[in-house]
Structure 1
Amino acid sequence: MSAAEFRAVSQVFGDFTAVDAIDLTIPEGKLTTLLGPSGCGKTTSLRMLAGYLRPTGGQILIRGEDFTTAPPEKRNLGMVFQSYALFPHMSVADNVGYGLKLRRVPGPERTKRITEALEMVGLAHLAGSRPKQLSGGQQQRVAIARAVAIQPNLLLLDEPLSNLDARLRLQMRAEIRRIQSETGLSVVLVTHDQDEALEMSDQMIVMKDGRIQQQGSPQEVFPAPANRFVAEFLGYENFVPTADAQLTVRPEHLQVSLGSAETSDGLSLPGRVTDLAYRGVDVLVTLSADAPGTSEPVRLVADLRATTAPDLRIGDEVTVAAGPAHLVTLPA
């Protein structure tokens, strides 16, 4: 049985369609990310799953039961917000136990589950502290502990790492993944960060304009984007038109050599260096290349290892190449 399922679910606000008849399945015991830019419908989808928004069309199932019109408190879902939403006047332990108290969990059982949840996130020693005494990362852990303590059917995370600095974000990615793995929880994470989605997901769902563009595991989606939008969102910067399609290749898979060179297969284009950016470990080379499918020069970007990159200068005539294994063919 799936943890949750959307069947032709829509959300319309006046003349604006935020979510357009999407079908998706949230697998049991896995971490699923809803990924896309602002306004793509990912947070609206999460809010409908949580019960804060009622769909204007379609059906939402949780563990096989229809919860389309059920209020949030009937769904047994844990939710972690961008702002953490901790109660400042309560201790860490009381924050974690708040949902248990609302559910009338008896005192001894409540204490046991609070302790277990805080131990799981490594904060048992701060049970008596107030939220204002904690760092941002610690507050985030308390919010997760509170959501997990109620033993939810689903754990929903709405951009939970966006308020943390880069170092803490990396730490919390690993922490959330560990918690999910240890508990076997079904987790839905909303994010606009493709690195976050790739690192954390069992399944990723890429959205645009209220519609699902592609879904699958990171290992399925990343090397084979379904269209140009998905490719660009996942960091593909190079697009070369051909007679009936479009080729794309990532910057780290482009090779640049001085002068002209012939290759038997894959991509090989004459070009000229227009910009260089030395970044320590690598060199970012911007090029203008002559593509066979257009009369206009094509802008390409190559990310070369600094230790093996040729000695390039702006204006150099070069050959830009990529092997067939690194080329992705997109619809025209």
Structure 2
Amino acid sequence: MTAAAELIDVTQRFGSFTAVDGIDLAVPSGKLTTLLGPSGCGKTTTLRMIAGYSTPTSGTIRIDGTDSTRTPPEKRNLGMVFQSYALFPHMSVADNVGYGLKLRKVPSAQRRTRVMETLELVGLAHLADRKPKKLSGGQQQRVALARAIAIKPRLLLLDEPLSNLDARLRVQMRAEIRRIQAETELTVILVTHDQDEALEMSDEMVIMNEGRIVQQGSPAQVFPRPADRFVAEFLGYENFLTAADGTPLTIRPEHLRISGQGDDGLEGTVADVAFRGVDLLVSLDVADPSGATVRLLADVRGGPAPQPGSRVTVIAPDDHLIPLPR
């Protein structure tokens, strides 16, 4: 698969602090790639180096096969949407969207056509004459997206673009960005700390920790096979235990089953039961195969609710137990 952008042994240091530590990354063309990880893991620094706002301490950045390591941002022809949207309050929606085209000296008639085409794409053509302050948060986000797309960028870079929206709008905008990416076949790099966002939107996930890439692949490859405990915890795995031979294991709450004593499984005691509407989240203190006592969470749907203090058997099916590095 063709790489729209490549980072080769890229490091970024700020004084004695290493923000990005010798990473190699190939961003596939025409796909949506997410840089995922906790705050301070290096994902935004990586995006800023691709955009040209920060020059790596060492290493090479190629865009469309051309060494762009020291090319200034305005000569990279990249679109970028920030957390804050950074719209011009005194300009109309149409003028905001056409701003990058005007800087590129696109003739006014051609500019108007491109602006309206882009506003149609994001569903805001009817608000072309409105000022940003008259728009909702979701509409402002679409304007920022349209402005970035209108210049027909080589790459579209999104830095936590949904973090300022409420939960309902975030879900809507995930689908909207995915639709726009599919229709335009743009190469998109999205920075997020939200694993649900990354799993739902990505063609390719790049999980970072302490300036390094710890796992990369499609959601279908990464989610069922986390590379280590950090990735497992970050993707929402909450149960960790140890096999009799010392191998660390993880299993998701929905894959644990609770039955009466005497069945074949792990003996334990119910510590707490939390009602969550459609299911119960049961906390259990269990003796794992190594003999250690661990706290496990089971997602229970249907059947009688186990009572705190009761002795139960916890069944962890072998096909859902995932081994982790020692």
The answer to whether the 8 A contact 1:30-1:202 is kept is: yes
1:257 is displaced (CA, Å) by 1.0
Cα distance per residue 1:277-330 (max 9 Å; x no partner)? 0111000000000012244x100000111xx23331001111111212211100
Once residues 51 and 110 of structure 1 are traced to their aligned partners in structure 2, the CA distance between those partners, rounded to angstroms, is 26
Once residues 244 and 323 of structure 1 are traced to their aligned partners in structure 2, the CA distance between those partners, rounded to angstroms, is 18
Once residues 303 and 291 of structure 1 are traced to their aligned partners in structure 2, the CA distance between those partners, rounded to angstroms, is 18
Say how many residue pairs are matched: 324
- The equivalent residue for 1:317 is 311
* TM-score computed with the length of structure 1 as normaliser: 0.96
- The equivalent residue for 2:281 is 284
Deviation beyond 3 Å, 4+ runs, structure 1:
none
- The equivalent residue for 1:265 is none
SS at match of 1:197: helix
Which blocks of at least 5 consecutive residues in structure 1 are unaligned? 263-267
> Which of 255, 269, 274 does residue 272 from structure 1 map onto?
269
For 1:68, give the aligned amino acid: T
1:26 is displaced (CA, Å) by 0.4
Root-mean-square deviation over aligned CA pairs: 0.8
1:247 is displaced (CA, Å) by 0.9
- The equivalent residue for 2:183 is 182
- The equivalent residue for 2:300 is 304
Cα distance per residue 1:206-257 (max 9 Å; x no partner)? 0000000100000000000000000000000000112231110001111111
Once residues 109 and 4 of structure 1 are traced to their aligned partners in structure 2, the CA distance between those partners, rounded to angstroms, is 29
Matches within 5 A, 1:22-101: 22-101=23-102
SS at match of 2:183: helix
The answer to whether the 8 A contact 1:7-1:60 is kept is: yes
The answer to whether the 8 A contact 1:257-1:310 is kept is: no
SS at match of 1:230: helix
SS at match of 1:18: strand
1:71 is displaced (CA, Å) by 0.6
- The equivalent residue for 2:290 is 293
Out of 239-248 and 154-163, give the one that drifted further. 239-248
**Percent of paired sites with the same residue:** 68
The answer to whether the 8 A contact 1:3-1:154 is kept is: yes
- The equivalent residue for 1:158 is 159
Once residues 245 and 73 of structure 1 are traced to their aligned partners in structure 2, the CA distance between those partners, rounded to angstroms, is 51
For 1:182, give the aligned amino acid: E
Cα distance per residue 1:118-169 (max 9 Å; x no partner)? 0000000000000000000000000000000000000000000000000000
Once residues 10 and 260 of structure 1 are traced to their aligned partners in structure 2, the CA distance between those partners, rounded to angstroms, is 56
The answer to whether the 8 A contact 1:32-1:201 is kept is: yes
Q: Does 1:257 align with 2:254?
A: no
Which blocks of at least 5 consecutive residues in structure 2 are unaligned? none
Cα distance per residue 1:147-192 (max 9 Å; x no partner)? 0000000000000000000000000000000000000000000000
The answer to whether the 8 A contact 1:283-1:309 is kept is: no
SS at match of 1:292: coil
Cα distance per residue 1:68-90 (max 9 Å; x no partner)? 00110010000000000000000
Once residues 258 and 309 of structure 1 are traced to their aligned partners in structure 2, the CA distance between those partners, rounded to angstroms, is 12
Matches within 5 A, 1:211-250: 211-242=212-243, 243-250=245-252
- The equivalent residue for 2:204 is 203
For 2:133, give the aligned amino acid: K
